[in-house]
Amino acid sequence: MRKIGVSSTAALGHHTPNRYTHPRIHCLHSTSKNDEISSSAAQSTDSVTSPLIEKWDQSDRFDRWKFLQELLDDLEEDDDTEELLCAVLKEYPLDKKNDGVPIATSEQKQIVRDLVATAAEEEQDPPKIRVLTNDEILRQVEALIPDPQEDEDGFKSAWDAVLEIHGQEMVKVNEEAATARWKALCIVARVLIHYEFLSEGIQKAQ
């Protein structure tokens, strides 16, 4: 069981849990492209290694914590955030489990494949998942967050990390303001946390 030293609790609003202290950190709807297209598109990006991705390949946990802190403070460039999200999801071993619970459901695996394929088809160099500028993509990315009914620990542990990184009071203020920008940044942070960017960085599927 992985731990991140999170102990914060809070009532954050309608889409956050009221009370929780979960140390575990392992922490839809898209069928538009078939597996063959997704696979070939993903393979087309294999040769691209940008300076940003090389940086994260050499990062430590403090560096990743700092990135998430600046992301939630809205200090990161959108292009960098969207490139990192694409790299994390593209490389993540989707069959991985934590305490016997799959990190991603079959529906979420397909969403990841579709997102990576779409990024590849747009011929961006390096590829980016345009989560901060495209509402439909944002909805798909949000669907990668664990369902609180099916994986309560996974859902809550990502929120615990956000509280610890951004600060309980700041999260509460932003949740009450409920701006579209905050919602998008928070979704990206929670997805990165759930797919183990904070604890492991950009993982490589075996």
**126-185 pLDDT, tens per residue?**
999 999 999 999 999 999 999 999 999 999 999 999 999 999 999 999 999 999 999 999
- With respect to residue 23, please indicate whether it lies within any of the assigned structural domains: no
The domain total for the chain is 1
Determine the average pLDDT of the residues in 195-206.
Answer: 86
**Looking at per-residue confidence, does 3 or 156 come out higher?**
156
The residue with tokens 């575990």 is: 24
Instruction: Pinpoint the alpha helices (H) of 58-129.
Output: 61-72, 78-91, 106-121
Instruction: Pinpoint the alpha helices (H) of the chain.
Output: 35-43, 51-57, 61-72, 78-91, 106-121, 135-142, 152-166, 168-177, 180-194, 197-200
- With respect to residue 12, please indicate whether it lies within any of the assigned structural domains: no
- With respect to residue 19, please indicate whether it lies within any of the assigned structural domains: no
**Looking at per-residue confidence, does 175 or 101 come out higher?**
175
Distance CA 75, CA 68 (A): 10
Q: Which of 88, 108, 91 is closest to 155 using CA atoms?
A: 108
- With respect to residue 2, please indicate whether it lies within any of the assigned structural domains: no
- With respect to residue 111, please indicate whether it lies within any of the assigned structural domains: yes
Of the ranges 58-62, 75-79, 202-206, which one carries the lowest mean pLDDT score?
Answer: 202-206
- With respect to residue 81, please indicate whether it lies within any of the assigned structural domains: yes
| Percent of the chain's residues with pLDDT above 70 | 75
Average pLDDT of the chain, as a whole number: 81
**Looking at per-residue confidence, does 3 or 198 come out higher?**
198
- With respect to residue 22, please indicate whether it lies within any of the assigned structural domains: no
Angle at 9 between CA 12 and CA 193, to 5 degrees: 80
The residue with tokens 């809205």 is: 74
Domain ranges, residue 181:
35-200
Determine the average pLDDT of the residues in 18-32.
Answer: 36
Is residue 109 within 8 Å of residue 94, measured between CB atoms?
yes
Q: What is the pLDDT of residues 54-73, one digit of tens each?
A: 888 777 899 999 999 999 99
Amino acid letter, 152: E
The answer, yes or no, to whether residue 8 has pLDDT greater than 70, is: no
Token readout for 49 is: 């290694």
- With respect to residue 181, please indicate whether it lies within any of the assigned structural domains: yes
Number of other CB atoms surrounding residue 18 within 10 Å: 9
